[in-house]
Structure formats: C-alpha cells, structure tokens
Amino acid sequence: MNTAVLQAKLWYAQRISAMVLALCVAIHLLIIYYAIQNGLSAAEILGRTRGNLIFALFYEIFVLACLVHAPIGLSNILRENTGDSFITRVLPWLLAALILVLGNMAVLGVVWGTA
C-alpha cells in the first residue's frame, strides 16, 4: 500500500477512535461522579459491576478505542521529533500490546473478578 494512503487511513482511524473516546471518557466521568456521590466503597462498586455485561461491553469498547488511538498518536509524535528509526516503529506496537493486555485485565477484573 502507498505510504501516503496508509497514513491517511491511520489518520482516519485515529479521528474515529477519538470520537469514540470523547464519548467514553464523558460517560466514564459521569459514572465515577454518580458512583462516589453517596460514598460507595470499592467493594460496593465492584458488587455492582461484577457480572454486568453492559459494563463489560462499554469498557471493552473504551479499551479498543485506546488501542487504536494512542499508538498512532505516539508514532506520529516520535516520527516528528526523532525521525524514522527502529525505536520509532517498535514503541507504538509495545504501547498497543500494553493497552490491550492491561485494559483487558482491568475489564476482566471489574466485571468477572478473575484478573
């Protein structure tokens, strides 16, 4: 694939994931605000999230949007500031792996308590 076209596709993916993230972050903050209003403890919050598939689906979408958005952004920043190199190409993939693993562990932990 033409590099310029690939870059255009990555730009598009980053924009769409940014839109998803904007929505997810807003909902996430609202949930936090709602959850701590009456002084809920961590145990009480987990009691409500465990086994809740809607929570699982929402946070999985959140993780996937981060997975797309952050590595593309990091790749752009690295290439603009340090040029094209091995590190510039590998670091975004490492970040992607980290987000995928840690994000899914968090979702599993909050919803099923297995992580």
- Which of 79, 104, 108, 109 forms a contact with other proteins (CB under 8 A)? 79
Which amino acid, residue 23? L
> Which of the ranges 3-11, 48-56, 61-69, 99-107 carries the binding residues for other proteins, by CB under 8 A?
3-11
Measured from the CB atom, is 5 or 43 closer to other proteins? Answer: 5
Tokens for 40? Answer: 């809920």
Per-residue string for binding with other proteins, 4-33, x by CB under 8 A?
xxxxxx-xxx-x------------------
Binding region for other proteins (CB under 8 A) out of 60-68, 72-80, 89-97, 102-110: 72-80
- Give the binding site for other proteins (CB under 8 A): 2-9, 11-13, 15, 76, 79-80
